[in-house]
Amino acid sequence: MFSFEELAIATRFFSNNRMIGDDDFGRLYKGELNGMPVAIKKLSLWVCAQVGGEQMVNYINHNCQYLNKLIGYCIEESDKFIVYELVPSKSLRFNLHDAGHKKTIDWSRRKKIAIGCAKGLAYLHEFCTPTIIHGNITSDNIFLDNNFEPKISGFELAQELPNFVTHISTEAKINRGYGAPEFLKDRKINEKVDVFSFGVVLLELITGKPSVIREGIFSMNLVAWVRVYLCSIIQY
């Protein structure tokens, strides 16, 4: 467990030019602790309400080459922070959809990323006891190292699924475009919710398009876009 002062010094008091990510789940900063480059996530208030210190400790103890290593955490009054190992090549979303990086991921690398993510999810679902549901698989939460090996990150909303329990009810959010229909309807999660979100990531790898496609004032989820595209091919 780290102190707030340690994290503040590591990020130069959470300076904007140390911030490397910002979404509904929190702000991500780069820094250095004990000579090690780290990524420090300051969780949004709604996420803080759902995450406990004991829960974070449980995930620190897991070790898999396809998971972004959790180094520690910090609780400071109502604020909570998670400390990850810093992965050098940014997120899959950045590498796939940023105009200057699209050409760097060829098909062999995309296949490598897909297989690595599948192995990381299999570790959480099949080898952890009890099963861990990630709950927020997105291309923003998959980071790439210098060899394009994927590291699944973003464990803020991860939950354990006890043995012989089929699902867990939750009020957690899922980024638009990644939510399984049954989750959006009933707010219940299990490993199938992760598999659906991973399927969307696979579609991103295959099509090169983001999870939500925007054209002017209109937008469409990638899953719906692929369905329309395939139907148009079948018709002709």
Q: How many folded domains does the chain comprise? A: 2
Question: Do residues 30 and 58 lie in contact, with contact meaning Cβ atoms separated by under 8 Å?
Answer: no
CATH code, domain with 224: 1.10.510.10
Tokens of 216: 């002017």
Strand partners, 83: 40, 72
Question: What's the pLDDT score for residue 217?
Answer: 85
**Same domain? 80 vs 126:** no
Question: Do residues 157 and 25 lie in contact, with contact meaning Cβ atoms separated by under 8 Å?
Answer: yes
**Same domain? 117 vs 219:** yes
Q: ∠129-181-123 over CA atoms, to 5°?
A: 20
At residue 213 the predicted structure's pLDDT band, cuts being 50, 70 and 90, is: very high
CATH code, domain with 76: 3.30.200.20
**Same domain? 29 vs 105:** no
**pLDDT above 90: residue 107:** yes
Which range marks the domain in which residue 24 is found? 4-85
Question: Do residues 73 and 83 lie in contact, with contact meaning Cβ atoms separated by under 8 Å?
Answer: yes
**Same domain? 102 vs 81:** no
Out of 22, 54, 85, pick the residue that ends a domain: 85
**pLDDT above 90: residue 45:** no
Q: Which of 233, 224, 217, 210 lies closest to 138 in space, CA to CA?
A: 210
User: Which pLDDT tens digit goes with each residue over 4-29?
Assistant: 999 999 999 999 999 988 888 899 99
* % of the chain exceeding 70 in pLDDT: 92
